[in-house]
Structure 1
Amino acid sequence: MTLLPARFRLPLPAALIALLVAGCATTPREPSSWTESAWGQASRLGSGAEAEPDAQWVHQRLPGKAAVLFAPGREDGREALLAKSDSAASVLRHRVRIDPADLDRLRFSWKVPQLIADADVGRKDSDDSPVRVILAFEGDRSRFSARDAMLSELMRAVTGEEMPYATLMYVWCNKRPPGTVVTSPRTDRIRKMVLESGPGRLNQWLDYERDIRADFERAFGEAPGALVGIAIMTDSDNTRSATKAWYGPVRVTTSAPR
């Protein structure tokens, strides 16, 4: 077994473990009730999107972290998924495979009642967000920096999984303007695209349609590989605070022939 340098022999932060959207993790998972819910049934991965065998929405608990409550239901007459965090972090994820040539649109919505006062998605010690929609992509891992190669090795040692080549997160930031791309302070293989900023549009449903390829190219400066995972994440573990939000159904369309 490879002995990791001391600076890496630490629990993985939640934002890094969230990269597990790419595969089937070895950490404990709950049986899926979200796939069968009205929210799960409305969350379509698109004609032409290849789901992994037996793929479903799975609640991925993160080692050393309290779990977020994910509960399907209705909010303001919409099918919704409540995410409620009390100093917690966990991920609801779905494995897919969509080849680069077939990448098209991502549609989702969320409703956030309030921001996390001390959160900052650009800082290690306060990297929390009431809402995240996460996309994980394949790519050439031989291009990893030495640091990212070490992080990937650490993730494999802890979880049995490879770190995805690239991860794009859509987030709500307290201060940075919409359109800002924030590189994770822990690894440049995670880029966060700010969709909302500040309190101006709190407590209302907000609907989005994103061009997956264009957003990836803007965030990473290169063409995307295959999309291999989709997840939602609400976390407040770093700020030791409480937060909640609602997610509407997540839908992916592809350019593959019907």
Structure 2
Amino acid sequence: MTCGHRHLYVMLLMLLGKSPCADDNLLMLGDFSSGSLTHWQSREFKNQTQYQVIDDDGTNVLKAESVNSASGLFREQRIDLQKTPILNWRWRVDNALGKINEQSRSGDDYAARIYVVTRGGLAFWRTKAINYVWASTTPKGKPWPNAFAGDNVMMMALRSSDDKIGTWYTEKRNVLADFKQQFHEDIPYVDAVAIMTDTDNTQSKATAYYGDIYFSKN
């Protein structure tokens, strides 16, 4: 199935920011440790990836289980990257997807990924996104255009086959700087964040876990 990711991109184009005010130094988006999925919405494209908050050794985390499925959780939120440019989270995967070509449409699956999206308003072609992904074969640090959306959606491999499965890793990304580097322009706001564990193209299985997701000043 290849239409699911096109539908995902169309949906991302339609996201609008509707958010309460936040602390100048920290903006919590995914407060999973409190057991809450408030403000997160589910969207299915092929079958349903199962998302649920579970207890992991005394701490609540978000668990995602995908079996030949493509669905995600999305939160619409306008984030001022000049105030809080750093995206923070931790994640873990329990299995790799094998030797797939993630830069092709048939291999565009990820055990774990987090999107950040800036909308283009009526100029929808200006909507841009970065996918921070746990890759299967692509080397860590490599960016590439999404196989379905082209240059408007850039993929970035933060973890890959060199990283241990079943191990938590903590990430910090300067989203303001990443947008500048990938799109060669100043993008001061993010309008949505999405989580997705998907295995529909490769018809495989994946289990991933996500800790709290938040933006910070540094």
Query: Residue 36 of structure 2: SS of its match in structure 1?
Result: helix
- Pick the aligned partner of 2:132 from 148, 162, 170: 170
Shift of 1:11: 7.3
Taking only the aligned residue pairs, the percentage that are identical comes to 24
- Pick the aligned partner of 1:86 from 67, 88, 107: 67
Shift of 1:216: 1.4
2:192 counterpart letter in structure 1 = G
Query: Residue 13 of structure 1: SS of its match in structure 2?
Result: helix
Please provide the CA RMSD for this pair. 2.7
Query: Residue 40 of structure 1: SS of its match in structure 2?
Result: coil
Query: Residue 115 of structure 1: SS of its match in structure 2?
Result: coil
Show the counterpart of 2:88: 107
Written as runs of structure 1 = structure 2, the 5 A alignment for 1:241-256 is 241-254=204-217
- Pick the aligned partner of 1:204 from 151, 164, 167: 167
Show the counterpart of 2:107: 126
- Pick the aligned partner of 1:69 from 50, 54, 57: 50
Show the counterpart of 2:156: 193
In proportion to residue count, which structure has more helix? 1
Structure 2 length-normalised TM:
0.82
Query: Residue 182 of structure 2: SS of its match in structure 1?
Result: helix
1:146-181, Cα deviation, whole Å (9 max, x unpaired): xxxxxxxxxxxxxxxxxx710111001122222111
1:171 counterpart letter in structure 2 = V
Show the counterpart of 1:138: 119
Show the counterpart of 1:23: 15
In structure 1, C-alpha distance between the alignment counterparts of 2:202 and 2:147, rounded to whole Å: 16
Shift of 1:189: 0.7
2:198 counterpart letter in structure 1 = D
Shift of 1:39: 4.2
Q: Give the greater-gyration-radius structure (CA).
A: 1
In proportion to residue count, which structure has more strand? 2
- Conserved 8 A contact 1:96-1:228: yes
1:57 counterpart letter in structure 2 = W
Runs (5+) with no aligned partner, structure 2: 17-29
Show the counterpart of 1:13: 4
Show the counterpart of 1:57: 40
- Conserved 8 A contact 1:40-1:249: no
CA distance change for structure 1 residues 106 and 235 in 2, over 3 Å: closer, same or farther? same
Show the counterpart of 1:157: none
In structure 2, C-alpha distance between the alignment counterparts of 1:142 and 1:92, rounded to whole Å: 25
Show the counterpart of 1:38: 34
Residue 221 (1) aligns with residue 195 (2): no
2:94 counterpart letter in structure 1 = P
In structure 2, C-alpha distance between the alignment counterparts of 1:77 and 1:37, rounded to whole Å: 10
Instruction: Return 10-19 or 222-231, whichever deviates more.
Output: 10-19
Shift of 1:36: 8.3
Q: Which runs of 4+ in 1 moved over 6 A?
A: 34-37
Aligned length: 203
Shift of 1:227: 0.6
- Conserved 8 A contact 2:32-2:53: no
Structure 1 length-normalised TM:
0.70
1:125-158, Cα deviation, whole Å (9 max, x unpaired): 11000000010003477594xxxxxxxxxxxxxx
1:23 counterpart letter in structure 2 = L
